[in-house]
Structure 1
Amino acid sequence: MTGQHPFVIVGAGLAGARAAQTLREEGFDGKIVLFGEEAERPYERPALSKGLLLRTTERDSVFVHDASWYEEHDVDLHTDTRVTTLDRQARQVTLADGRRFGYDRLLLATGSRARSLPVPGAHLDGVLRLRTLADCDRISDAIVDGASVVIVGAGWIGLEVAAAARTRGAAVTVVETADLPLQRVLGDQLATVFADLHRDHGVTFRFGAQVHEFRGSNRVSAVLLADGTVLPAELVVVGVGVLPNTELAEQAGLAVDNGVVVDHTLRTSDPRIWAAGDLANAHHPLLNVRVRVEHWANALHSGPAAARGMLGRTVSYDRLPYFYTDQYELGMEYTGHAPPGSYDRIVVRGELSGGEFMAFWTAQGRVLAGMNVNVWDVTGPIGQLIRSRQPVDLDRLADPTVALESLVGRG
């Protein structure tokens, strides 16, 4: 099935590491080469904005495999190594140091990078973004008791960093251009829950605000907003989203549109190349739309799916998007896909003020997505409701006494 060249994986994050693991588990005995730009071996990122910042998670626990696993499974891991070019005709990748590696099959799992904020002072020491273990270490060292922390962006990363910083005693101000945190993702009703949660824990919000400048000599000392407000800051964390690392794919002439375009098997426009994780803009066979998912669960599952595709197995990657968050006493899971404009009603099961509830985004009675807050062991039934693609009785959906399983297939 394979030629003389190895299977090459570019990107040593969770997706790439899990792909290598799956190749071995599926019986592939050829050479596997795994390239990663970071100095660390592959690790999982959720703890970077949660347990590691809170210092409740041991650093070693975030790594995908023990350090010895790669040698034991004959995976040639190259850390601190950047792939600069991809030659599809020659089936080679070139490294920054000029070395070339041929491939028989190639997986792109280069992930994404945190967006920067193009304002004066963005280069100052103490203006950080959270994407890597090294970023987490620097932020964790700075969110000490009494420190003044400004977070730019009230998305998931921004709010999780805010929760960790407040829990550790820092004074936190969150600057957000919208009127509520997570407003575009959740809508006003659910976004208010998160605004109230953080206010109750002492976070100050500056909504409808834009950063004009970061001030300081060598290290940041203040944030100047567009309306002239000056916020003291010993640390700034910029959390304004991520960008997929598509440069290698673009240079090689692969189809790129908000990520690398792949089909339901995660194969790119080149039949010898696959893409997985944050990078992949995949056709979802159940949802019948293209989705690019930036969350942990997608990396966890799409890497193995791509590996099976590389081996010629039958693959149809139809995992429902899933993510979770932990903020103070609130734990939440979200399953499904309900972008703005796709739904006509949000159905709430339980009381938003009670701290335990579920919410469902629906369109013409069909459940598109569901969120459970401090309610556990329900992601299975929520997924069944979404997968059924059938209308449900929304009054029964809102009734906590009605089992979710009983609603599947019933209008």
Structure 2
Amino acid sequence: MTDIVIIGAGQAGASLAIKLRALGHEGKLTLIGEESSPPYQRPPLSKGFLLGEMELDRLYLRPLSFWEEQGVTLQIGEQVSSIERTAKTVRVGDKTIPYDQLALTMGSQPRCLPESIGGGLPGVYTVRTLADVETMKPEFHRGRHMLIVGGGYIGLEAAAVGAKLGLKVTLIEMAPRILQRVAASETSDYFRKIHTDHGVQIIENTGLARLSGDTRVTGAVLSDGSEIDVDFIVVGVGIAPLTLLAEEAGLVIENGIHTDELGRTSDPNIWAAGDCTSFPHRGGRLRLESVGHAIDQAETVAQNMLGAMVPYCAKPWFWSDQYDVKLQIAGLNTGYDRVITRKGDSESISFWYYKGDTLLAVDAMNDARAYMIGKRLIEADKSPDPAIIAELGTDLRMLLKI
């Protein structure tokens, strides 16, 4: 029987292991993770868990007993130091683990502030792992001043938590507007107003020059020369794929671990899935950072490791929870040239991204119907007339029948 080793015990690695067993794989299955916790959900870390609304055991994807029942050797708190492709082994500490097929699902890591500007000072945090959030949680006391560096979704979610817990929150974004890399100005404007209405100070077009403090961070000097006193800092300036292990093993790297449409790397015995991969997409290559992608690609790779040879077809979707707003995103807005606004009731609105006459993506705020219908339209390559989308009397469900 085939022995399979999976490196990376996050959402992709866990989904891959679960799918392999569901499909009938009976060989040895080893799941290796650097963190000391069993596989868990990451999205609630910067939302419900940080707010104290979700208990630790609810984060776990499966109870610890599940992995034993499924015959999965779960090796957590262990780091793979090397992959020996010729011998088909991986090195973990002083142990060597053989494999017939190997899957890389290492995910990604947050970008940190440079040490040269004080990024290594105590009191400066990133939001990626359970340990990150458990370490920073004690900082969230009413009246303290939190500085957030970066106006993407992670930064905005942390700002929402801080504001709800009664902290003074300042967020700086070096781009001209928050969410500039991922959303239209309409979505930026919507969330800017939500945050400022909750007391968050948002400073755009302003970067961080340096941090001050001796034994821990106490202040920040901004790129415009202004100085602010802070109690702690949360950094949300993006993530980078974890590819070093693959690179040292001689695999092809291209904005992530290069895979073909099946999820196979440049070594036919090694596969990859999740944040750490780049894969073929509509004539180019794409790397996605989302739970949905991690699950879908991992499950496709599981099928292909067992011989199905099914091409992976990405169906991008994302979400963010801030205050009482649930943002749901369908599709990819890359290349859009206009945005159609569709107003719902007093608490819902959606923005529809078009390139010419082609619908690319939908941002839906508290509008699950717009999201679901937009997602189905995009996946079916259907593009309704933008004027119909903007018309409030339009029953969106009828668009699916066009």
Indicate conservation of the 8 Å contact 1:112/1:279, yes or no.
yes
Is the partner of 2:67 in helix, strand or coil? helix
Q: Which residue of 1 aligns with 2:62?
A: 65
Q: Which residue of 2 aligns with 1:180?
A: 177
Which amino acid is 1:55 matched to? Answer: G
Equivalent in 98, 102, 107 of residue 106 of structure 1? 102
Equivalent in 348, 356, 363 of residue 364 of structure 1? 356
Measured in 1, the distance between the counterparts of 2:154 and 2:45 equals: 9
Q: Which residue of 1 aligns with 2:341?
A: 348
Equivalent in 358, 374, 388 of residue 396 of structure 1? 388
Q: Which residue of 2 aligns with 1:330?
A: 325
Measured in 1, the distance between the counterparts of 2:321 and 2:18 equals: 28
Indicate conservation of the 8 Å contact 2:186/2:351, yes or no.
no
Is the partner of 1:128 in helix, strand or coil? strand
Q: Deviations over 1:61-82 (max 9, x none)?
A: 1111101111111111111111
Measured in 2, the distance between the counterparts of 1:273 and 1:350 equals: 48
Measured in 2, the distance between the counterparts of 1:283 and 1:402 equals: 36
Is the partner of 2:278 in helix, strand or coil? strand
Under a length normalisation based on structure 2, what TM-score does the superposition of the two structures give? 0.96
For residue 222 of structure 1, report the CA deviation from its aligned partner.
0.7
For residue 226 of structure 1, report the CA deviation from its aligned partner.
2.2
For residue 40 of structure 1, report the CA deviation from its aligned partner.
0.8
Is the partner of 2:368 in helix, strand or coil? coil
Which amino acid is 1:251 matched to? Answer: E
Is 1:125 the counterpart of 2:117? The answer is no
Measured in 2, the distance between the counterparts of 1:142 and 1:208 equals: 27
Is 1:381 the counterpart of 2:376? The answer is no
Indicate conservation of the 8 Å contact 2:350/2:370, yes or no.
no
Indicate conservation of the 8 Å contact 2:187/2:363, yes or no.
no
Q: Deviations over 1:21-45 (max 9, x none)?
A: 1111111111001110111111110
Which structure 2 residues correspond to residues 272-287 of structure 1 after superposition, within 5 A?
Answer: 272-284=269-281, 287=282
Measured in 2, the distance between the counterparts of 1:203 and 1:126 equals: 20
Please, which moves more after superposition, 103-112 or 306-315? 306-315
Indicate conservation of the 8 Å contact 2:31/2:74, yes or no.
yes
Please, which moves more after superposition, 124-133 or 81-90? 81-90
For residue 400 of structure 1, report the CA deviation from its aligned partner.
3.1
For residue 409 of structure 1, report the CA deviation from its aligned partner.
7.1
Measured in 2, the distance between the counterparts of 1:98 and 1:109 equals: 22
Is 1:290 the counterpart of 2:285? The answer is yes
Q: Which residue of 1 aligns with 2:27?
A: 30
Q: Which residue of 2 aligns with 1:406?
A: 398
For residue 395 of structure 1, report the CA deviation from its aligned partner.
0.6
Q: Deviations over 1:311-336 (max 9, x none)?
A: 11232221311110110121110010
Which structure 2 residues correspond to residues 1-400 of structure 1 after superposition, within 5 A?
Answer: 2-3=1-2, 6-95=3-92, 97-118=93-114, 119-284=116-281, 287-339=282-334, 342-350=335-343, 354-400=346-392
For residue 378 of structure 1, report the CA deviation from its aligned partner.
4.2
Measured in 1, the distance between the counterparts of 2:383 and 2:357 equals: 4
Q: Deviations over 1:250-293 (max 9, x none)?
A: 11111111111112211112211111110111113xx4432211
Indicate conservation of the 8 Å contact 1:143/1:165, yes or no.
yes
Indicate conservation of the 8 Å contact 2:183/2:333, yes or no.
no
Is the partner of 1:160 in helix, strand or coil? helix
Which amino acid is 2:327 matched to? Answer: M
Which amino acid is 1:115 matched to? Answer: R
Is the partner of 2:206 in helix, strand or coil? coil
Is the partner of 1:163 in helix, strand or coil? helix
Q: Deviations over 1:98-154 (max 9, x none)?
A: 321111111100000000111422111110111110111122211110111000000
- With over 3 angstroms needed to count, the CA separation of the structure-2 counterparts of 1:288 and 1:380, relative to structure 1, is farther
For residue 221 of structure 1, report the CA deviation from its aligned partner.
0.8
Please, which moves more after superposition, 229-238 or 375-384? 375-384
Runs of at least 5 residues in structure 2 that lack an aligned partner in the other structure: none
Measured in 1, the distance between the counterparts of 2:332 and 2:105 equals: 22
Please, which moves more after superposition, 20-29 or 287-296? 287-296
For residue 354 of structure 1, report the CA deviation from its aligned partner.
4.0
| RMSD, aligned CA | 1.6
- With over 3 angstroms needed to count, the CA separation of the structure-2 counterparts of 1:319 and 1:405, relative to structure 1, is farther
Indicate conservation of the 8 Å contact 1:7/1:32, yes or no.
yes
Q: Deviations over 1:146-165 (max 9, x none)?
A: 11100000000000000001
Under a length normalisation based on structure 1, what TM-score does the superposition of the two structures give? 0.94
Measured in 1, the distance between the counterparts of 2:25 and 2:100 equals: 13
Indicate conservation of the 8 Å contact 1:246/1:256, yes or no.
yes
Which amino acid is 1:71 matched to? Answer: E
How many residues matched?
Answer: 401
Measured in 2, the distance between the counterparts of 1:373 and 1:25 equals: 35
